[in-house]
């Protein structure tokens, strides 16, 4: 799995996605990709992680989240 393989949607949109797009009155260009779900993380946790990353000079919280999610996807693909 390459870095952005998970972004490629299915070859054709699911029937449910086509119906919901019609109901909403808008065309979907994403090929029926799964919806993105918001997550909640305690502010203190995010600040502590950001502080540790800054102290170690290894990146940002965004980079860490991206790396963790990609690792999880690669693990599931095996």
**CA dist., res. 20 & res. 29, Å (int):** 13
Asked if residues 28 and 34 have their Cβ atoms less than 8 Å apart, the reply is no
Tens digit of pLDDT for each residue in 18-75? 656 556 555 445 556 777 888 888 999 999 999 999 999 988 999 999 999 999 999 9
User: How far, in Å, CA of 54 to CA of 27, rounded?
Assistant: 42
> The whole model's pTM is what?
0.49
CA distances for 41 relative to 48, 49, 75, angstroms = 12, 11, 23
């Amino acid at each position: 799995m390459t870095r952005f393989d998970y972004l490629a949607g299915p070859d054709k949109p699911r029937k449910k996605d086509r119906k919901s797009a019609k109901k909403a009155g808008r065309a979907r260009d994403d090929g029926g990709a799964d919806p993105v779900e918001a997550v909640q993380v305690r502010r203190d946790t995010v600040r502590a992680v950001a502080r540790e990353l800054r102290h170690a000079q290894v990146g940002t919280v965004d980079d860490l989240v991206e790396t963790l999610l990609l690792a999880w996807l690669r693990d599931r693909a095996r």
